[in-house]
Structure 1
Amino acid sequence: EFAYDAKMTIDQRPGASAANVLQIESDLLGVTMDLPEPFNKTPDLQKLLSLNLALDGTQQEINGVLGEDLRFLLDIDDSIITDGLVVIGEQDSSMKQLADNDTAGLAILGSIERFDLEPWVNLITSMGNANESTSELGSTIAFVDIQSDIFSLYGEELPEVSFRMEPSSAAAGWLTWVSSDAVQGEVVIPYDNDYYLQVDLEYLRLPGDEEDEAESADVGAGETEAVEQTSAAIAATDQVRGRDEDEEREDPLIGLDPRELPLMLFETDEFDIGDRQFGSWAFTLTPTGVGAEFHDINFDFRGLRLGRDEPDEAFEYLEPHFSWFYDGIEHNSELTGVLVAGDISGVLEANGYAPSVESDRAVFVTELRWPGTPAFFSSEHLSGRIDMRVDDGRFLRDSGTGGALRLVSFINLTAVFQRLRFSDDLLRSGLAFDEITGNLDLDDGLLTIEDRLVISGPSSLYQITGEVDLGEESINGEMFVTLPVSNNLPWIGLLTANIPLAVGAYLFDRIFGDQVDSLSSAVYTLSGPIEGLEPEFKQAFGSPDTAPALPQ
């Protein structure tokens, strides 16, 4: 029950054609309005309701105001809304002017300070579950056209978003078009929440934090030829990395509960967080009691693809899949699949690393997990495994960036080339290889090379063993270099500083060169920070099978 004032005007003149008018006013104290904000109301709050009902048989015209920001004009025939207008927020035009259009049905338009998508989706789908009122509502409403200052999308806030909704019996839901600098595309909101929310976007650009913007600067360096810009970008990244531990990077999706996400078919041509670009994505999302599962996942992340290439029998096949776990306190993420790239140098540069390796193809059989949400991927705490193969490429000479780009290689092979006194022509063109293969095991950011990482070329062989601390960006291992003797005599003497040994190797090659594959080997120690690492000569004529075990 609630208090109200009512006034009834009845035209009793003979032959009167004017409709009877009922006027009602109330502050709605004691009334609950269980609607999403800003239209919700608790019983203790006042919200002015003013109605003017023109009654003419089964036909009614209702002109009303609810609160300060909602006006409506409705035409009703036999208890069904046949035409009308609902205006949210302030409008320059009068209700009559706005209502004078050829559109049949109810039009809802206006502006709102904040629009939260999730409660409205829940409201629409719950109405559909309860009865057929949602589809009936769809036959009544012509369209919804709203401009929101803030558009809240499952925990993410996007500024200045316009959206338009129209009912569609063919899609069994509401066709929705969203447009802004942050998001643009089409969404189908189903009448029934047993169906999937369908999202097909041109782009989605979520806000990031300061470190996202700083780290993205080195990604932008992959899109420019200006080394100066690259250096400045990485310098900015280094400044961010030098912050105190108290200022660690925040997880941009930490406030999102994946258990509460809707069933969703998602696709976007472009996905960004802050200034960090994550490429194009598609997946099917199913929430669970412990998080959310992503099936049919495929993406192209800065040249690294998942789920977009035909399976190759030469590699183990893993179904592309992603799991996002959340227990109400901590987030954890797991990725499984076969990652594929063409020229790996483009992938490296797009991610802020020196394009030190070129290739025709690179394949990574991947099972990875890390603490945090999917957006909080960090090598410092990675666990799992990566089986890799990179085909037909070359290691490139240092491009002269002066350390502006971070080395992705475990070692700086340029330092090895220079120490071996390879020709300038070779250094300029790079060292060719047929393939790089290796099985990598990861445990909380500590990468262990299982057996060895092998770099094989037409006339050379490099084998790397040991461990890499991805958090500290340091290595403790060894490299075994094998090259033809006769073609590389200078490097033997240089490595060993032992003239008799060099002469002996030369004589061995001259005497037995036609009968054996004349190869010579040396062992390097790899120890210390990866950045600027120069391998130290340990011994000549070693091999991974005969070399002493690494110190623990």
Structure 2
Amino acid sequence: MRRISLKNTISIIQFVILVILIVAAIYVSIGRLILSVSDLYRDHVIRWMEQKLNMDVNIGAIEGNWIYFDPEITLDHVALGESIYFDHLTLRIDTLKSFLNRSVVVTAIELKSVELDIEQSMPGEWNAFGFPKSLEFFDLDLGMEFLHYLSAARVDEIDINLMSARGDYILSISNLVLQSEARGDRRISVPLKILGKNKKTYGSINFLGKYRGNLKKSGFKGDFYAEIFGSDLEHLIDLTHLSHRFSDVSIDNEVWVSIDPDHTSILSNIDINAILLGNAKEKIMLGGELSLGMKISGDELKFTGQEIAIQLDNDVIDLSGLYGSLSRKLNQVVFTMPKLELQQLSSFMLNFEPQIASKKLQSAIEVIRPTGSLKETFLYLDLEKWERDYQVVSVLDNVNFDTYLGSPEMRNLSGIISLSPKRGYLDIDSKNVDLYFKSHFSEVWPFDSIRGRMLYINDEDIFRVSSRLVKFSYNDVSAVGKIKLNFPRAADYNWELLLGVNESPLKESYRYIPDTLPSRLLDWLESSVIAGKVEDSGLLFHGVFAKSSPKIAKTFESYFRVRNTNLKYHQEWPMLTDLNALFHINNGGLVSSNGNAKIFSLDLTKINVFVRNPYGGQAKSVSVSADIEGMLIDGFRILNETPVKDKIMNISRHWSGTGNFIGTAEFEIPFALGGDDEIYSNISVFLANNNLNFADQNLDIERVNGNLKYETHSGLNSSQFIGVLFGENVSGSIATDLGNNSGEVVIDLIGKVEASKLYEWSRQDILSRFYGKSSYRASLHIPFGPDSENSYFQVWSNLTGMELNFPVPVGKNKKEERSLYYRQDFSESGSKINFRLGQLIAYLSTQERLVTGGRVHFGSIQGSEISYDSLLVTGALEYANYEDWYNVFLDTENVSDQLFHPSISENNELLSIDIGSLNFYSLPLSGVRVHLERLPDAWRAFISNENVKGEFIIPDEEESPLLVNLNHLRFPKTEESNDPMSLLSSKELIDANFTIDELFFGDEGYGHWSFELRPDARGVSLVNLEGRVKGISVMKGSKFDWSYEDKYVSSFEGIIGIEDLGTALEKWGYASSVEGSNFNLSASFVWEGSPAAIDMDILEGHIKLLNGEGRFVQADPGAALKLLGIFDFAQLGRRLNFDFSDVVQKGWSFNKVTGSTNYSKGKISILEPIVVEGSTSNFKIAGNADLNTRELDNDMIVTLRVSKNLPWYAAYSAIATGPLAGLGVLLAQRVLKSQINQVSSAKYTVSGTIESPKIELDSLFNDNIEKRSGSAQ
């Protein structure tokens, strides 16, 4: 059975072979027949081709030939339309392959003299001239299939004419050869030249290859090599769709391609250079050196850029290490790139056609100007999708770019970026990054590090950028933030930025506030923040993206929780320190509530700050309110060190206080002072046991309790307060009277005051003699403003309960009422005081509490202006006791070393007062006029009445003595005492130089006197005493001493001179029996009492006669003059029994007088005989005289020279009184005859009284004087 089947099978095969052979024989026969007559069908072929190609076709001849089973067809002189022509075409068709493939398979081709014309219809589109436009001019698959079966090909010449509006070029191929080798290998050689219309060669391509199999099938294998070389190829670029123009384009390229069944590898070395021509004759150098490798495996093409360097002008883009993969259809691309410089890539994209980078992208690149590097860049591109899909992932390294459409300018950005058409992200991990939202923020945001992810979504109409939480750090500051950006295709889309910052210096936080806020608010924020910390803060910005949009479409919200912050909310206001608060800032302004801080050392709580920002305008002011607690001294600083001081005209500049207080404060502070804008203040404080000090008034109010309020429109006010003033309880109130340009603060007080406390406050010496306590009403007026006067203090009191320790009429006791009005005006230079105390009225100016001028008046002042250029005391007193007022003056000196300001020395007049009755050291002076004036360096006082008249000069120099120059001084004689100085103590006297023109005791004149009064510890001395009284002169240099031990004792020592003895005797009441001149004697006396108490009854001392000359004359006892018998020369002659008639008539002259005496309370003892020497006779007197009893007890020696006019006998007869005596004389004459002839002397005893002396002859020729009690020989 099996054998039958096999036999049948063989029979069938044989039959089939037979049929095939028969069919083949028939096919060959018919084919040869047809080919032999093929030219006959030429017209049919032409018509068929014209229908297919829709153009004119012309064929010169058709020939056919048969080689084995394969036909061979030759066409000569073929023209397709106007663009394709070839002279000869031979095609060999493989019958079997054609049968099996059911299509014509050409295995050999031969072409000669081919010409092809191609024109450029538009950039990037080419068509064969005359051919209809087609989307697919060449079918690549058909071409690959054709090459697969083609085993031999030869083309001797092909010229492809490229025609465009910019020029015509020729692609020329000569001797193209494709031939088969053993084992089915094929070799191909294609030489190609690029020629210009003038046949100039611009470049060439030589293509060599060896392959086997069908390229479209897996078994294909081949090796290919291409060499491409050319210069001046810019003309070919004109034929492309690129809009840029190039020059000097050159290329040198080698390509090796190896195709295996499993993969395909390509290796290429390219060197290209060109010049890119810009729009303004700008030339950009282009170049590139590329070494590329590709490997195609399956549906994937992998490529590697071993060395890629693209030069763009001076920049070189290095793409070495490029690695990628393409799909076999070239519709999907993936590659990685080790590093790419953004600046170089940007320059490349900005200088090429929009097909590479769109105009919008180029514009964006030109604005943002990116720099930095892209590392490990990954790119995926899918060109088959309806919208091209791509994915780019890259590592950013130190990337910088400027702002674009509101996006921030960034510096030193690093991280990973992932891009795709619809969405993408940026993972940021950067250090030392700067962000700058230039369109909305004025400052750069520096960060030490940024970490976070930013996302974007590309919708149809908008490109959205957002972020997750991004972490920032700067120094010790940490922050988190979010951002949302809408890059619009329409300008009304919004964007949003959210940022949170922790532990940031507040000064650094200013940069996070956008400059879309009004400039005045921004300036205030920048200048206000001095120092501080932000615990945490948040920032939200959203609004219209376009910068040209109105600010109302851009909303800003932020908060800052600050601590330990110093805020200078206004340049003229004190700083808020240690501020802890939560601030909200937005387009509407700034708000903060419930904060706490310090001003100076004041604690501020519940602080509210508000800055209102009107729409479309500028913020005008900052409102601040708070509760205040702290030291009162700092509370006054708010009034004194802020613009409030100008509003209140700086009235409180010298106010201070102690203790703490609580209160509230509200301020409305304009940003710009001036115009109608003014500071509004409302400060209310509660005082509890505080002490207030008003330095201008030197006034302290202690333990003050009450409310005190200051408000701009009502001033400083207090309805009532209580306290302690001058150590006594006081109540009061404060009110302010406000005018247009000025005002006045009035502090009213009611209380009691102790006089000593009042004196301690005022330091007015008159108050030092006030004692006790009295009620008062007072008011302190503090004017302010440009038109204001000085502040002043007023007091009213009836002084009940207060004693005034002054002499009448000022003094009073405690029970007596005496109205007092006191006003003190204060100024920087001093004070003016006005007070009325009974009849005493005073207007004084003081400086440093010393009197500088004014007027003190006793009585009423009517219509008299007060001058403060000098100090003047005027008026009239009925009675004044000098000692009482002097004691007041001394007490005042004990209280104050200085009463008057040195400037008072420039004034002339000081005092002019009438005193009805002045008691001057118990010396009553009636009707006294006292006048005081100023000299350049001293005070001068004039005192005038019937007893005294003259001046007292008190020098400014304390060491200088008082000068007393009196016209007259009268000591009245009283029955009680003869000593006018008995009531004067030497201890009360001071250094003084006296000059008294006329001295009187009663009505009796005692001449002119001058002396220097010098007190010391013992008493007082009158030195340099000089006087002239009744012809007797006390010579200068004489001295009075007045001392006190157990009692007052005075003494005198000096020289007494008498120029005219006769005149002096007459002035003293004696008849002038002696005439003479130049009588001098020295005297030394002591007596009890004052110098004015000198009296003969108490005087003790001695007198020494020094010199003198004159004559004894006959005294004239007339005119009620006393006659001193002892000096009566005529009486003396009679008692001596001399005949002195001629002497008496002429007088007896003498030229010398000497001697000394002792005087003791009226008793005179001659210590040294008194000798009177004349030219013819001498007198010598010794003994005693008692002025009290007027008795004399003296011896007198008279020596006479004997002459013819006076013979001894006559003398003897005249002298002798008895015979016994005559006897003695006679004896003497005889014994002493020679002596008697020359001179005669006689001794007499003198007794009796001064008025009636008794003279008796004792002996002759005896000039010895006996000793007597109290006398010396």
- Partner of residue 954, structure 2: 189
The correspondence for 1:301, drawn from 1029, 1036, 1045, is: 1029
> CA offsets, 1:334-381, max 9 Å, x none?
111121121122222222233222112101111111223212222233
- 2:1248 aligned counterpart, secondary structure: strand
Q: How does 1:206-217 map to 2 (within 5 A)?
A: 206-209=971-974
Superposed, which structure 2 residues align to 1:21-170 within 5 Å? Answer: 22=794, 24-27=796-799, 29-33=801-805, 37-38=807-808, 41=811, 44=814, 46=816, 48-51=818-821, 53=823, 63-67=834-838, 69-74=839-844, 84-88=854-858, 90=859, 95-99=861-865, 104-112=869-877, 113-116=879-882, 120=886, 123=889, 127=893, 130-136=896-902, 138=904, 142-154=909-921, 156-168=923-935, 170=936
1:415 to 1125, 1131, 1145: 1131
Q: Which residue of 1 aligns with 2:1002?
A: 274
Equivalent residue for 1:460? 1177
Check if 1:528 corresponds to 2:1244: no
> Which AA in structure 1 matches 2:1206?
N
Q: Give the equivalent residue in structure 2 for 1:358.
A: 1075
Match of 2:1011 in 1: 283
User: How far apart in 1 are the matches of 2:992 and 2:1076?
Assistant: 37
Secondary structure, aligned partner of 1:520: strand
Give the Cα separation in 1 of the matches to 2:1145 and 2:1121.
Answer: 18
Q: RMSD over aligned Cα, in angstroms?
A: 4.1
Which of 1094, 1098, 1109 is matched with 1:392 structurally?
1109
Deviation, structure 1 residue 539: 3.1
Indicate conservation of the 8 Å contact 1:466/1:550, yes or no.
Answer: yes
**Per the alignment, do residues 193 and 29 of structure 1 end up closer, same or farther by CA in structure 2, a change over 3 Å counting?**
farther
TM-score of the aligned structures, taking structure 1 as reference length: 0.75
Alignment CA distance shift 1:372-1:542 (3 Å): farther
Of the candidates 486, 497, 512, which is equivalent to residue 1217 of structure 2?
497
Instruction: Name the CA distance, whole Å, in 2 between partners of 1:291 and 1:10.
Output: 55
- 1: CA distance between counterparts of 2:1267 and 2:890? 66
Query: Greater shift after overlay, 79-88 or 200-209?
Result: 79-88
Instruction: Answer 1 or 2: which has greater strand percent.
Output: 2
Residue 1254 of structure 2 corresponds to residue 538 of structure 1: no
Per-residue CA deviation, residues 434-478 of structure 1 (Å, 9 max, x unaligned), is: 222211122333211124211221211222111011222221112
User: What's the CA shift for 1:385?
Assistant: 1.3
- In the alignment, is the contact (CA less than 8 A) between 2:854 and 2:872 conserved in 1? yes
Going from structure 1 to structure 2, the CA distance change for 1:45 and 1:378 (only over 3 Å counts) comes to: farther
Aligned to 1:213: none
1:229-268 to 2 correspondences below 5 Å: 250-268=978-996
2:1114 alignment partner AA:
R
- More displaced stretch, 492-501 vs 181-190: 492-501
CA distance in 2, matches of 1:381, 1:366: 15
Shift of 1:302: 2.3
- Whether contact under 8 Å (2:964, 2:992) holds in the other structure is yes
Aligned amino acid, residue 1198 of structure 2: V
Instruction: Measure the CA separation in 2 of the matches of 1:129 and 1:346.
Output: 56
C-alpha distance in structure 2 between counterparts of 1:338 and 1:397, whole Å: 29
CA distance in 1, matches of 2:880, 2:1019: 27
What is the distance in 2 between the residues matched to 1:277 and 1:334?
Answer: 22
Structure 2 SS opposite 1:492? helix
1:436 & 1:118 partners in 2: Cα distance?
54
Take 1:423 and 1:270, find their aligned partners in 2: how far apart are those partners? 43
Change (3 A) 1:482 1:96: same
Alpha-carbon deviations, 1:87-146, whole Å to 9, x = none? 11x45xxx251226x672332101222251795498379749954443448359752111
Other-structure match for 1:218: none
Quickly say closer, same or farther: Cα 1:56–1:496, change in 2 above 3 A: closer
2:1056 is the alignment partner of 1:339: yes
Q: Deviations over 1:66-86 (max 9, x none)?
A: 13x312345679978776432
Aligned to 1:5: 776
SS at the partner of 2:1062? helix
Provide the secondary structure at the position in 1 that maps to 2:1206: helix
Question: Residue 480 of structure 1 contacts residue 542 of structure 1 at CA under 8 Å; is this kept in 2?
Answer: no
Q: Work out the CA distance in 2 between the residues paired with 1:446 and 1:74.
A: 63
SS at match of 1:208: coil
Aligned residues: 490
Change beyond 3 A, Cα 1:180–1:41: closer
Pair 1:76–1:401, CA change in 2 (3 A): closer
Distance between the aligned counterparts of 2:798 and 2:957, measured in 1? 35
1:163-195: CA deviations, max 9, x gaps?
211244x32x42212233322222123457654
| 1:338 and 1:363 in contact (8 A); partners too | yes
Deviation at 1:282, TM superposition (A): 1.6
Q: 1:519 aligns with which of 1239, 1247, 1261?
A: 1239
Equivalent residues of 1:197, 1:264 under 8 A apart? yes
Cα distance in 1 for partners of 2:1051, 2:847 equals 56
In structure 1, distance between residues paired with 2:1262 and 2:1066: 33
Deviation at 1:156, TM superposition (A): 3.7
Any gaps of 5 or more consecutive residues in structure 2? 1-753, 755-772
- The structure number with the bigger radius of gyration is 2
Counterpart among 391, 412, 436 of residue 1153 in structure 2: 436
The residue number in structure 2 matching 1:326 is 1044
TM-score, normalising length: structure 2 = 0.35
Closer, same or farther: CA 483–24 of 1 in aligned 2, 3 Å: same
* 1-structure distance, mates of 2:960, 2:1045: 25
Work out whether residues 850 and 898 of structure 2, in 8 Å CA contact, stay in contact via their aligned partners in 1: no
Distance (whole Å) between structure 2 residues aligned to residue 515 and residue 139 of structure 1: 81
Q: Distance in 2 between matches of 1:127 and 1:483?
A: 73
Change in CA separation of 1:200 and 1:298 when aligned onto 2, cut-off 3 Å: same
Question: Against the structure 1 CA distance between its residues 433 and 140, is the aligned structure 2 distance closer, same or farther, given a 3 Å change threshold?
Answer: closer
- Determine what percentage of the aligned residue pairs are the same residue: 23
Structure 1 residues 276, 517: closer, same or farther in 2, change over 3 A? Answer: farther
Partners of 2:776 and 2:1134 in 1: CA distance: 94
The one-letter code matched in structure 2 to 1:418 is: R
Helix, strand or coil for the counterpart of 2:1132?
helix
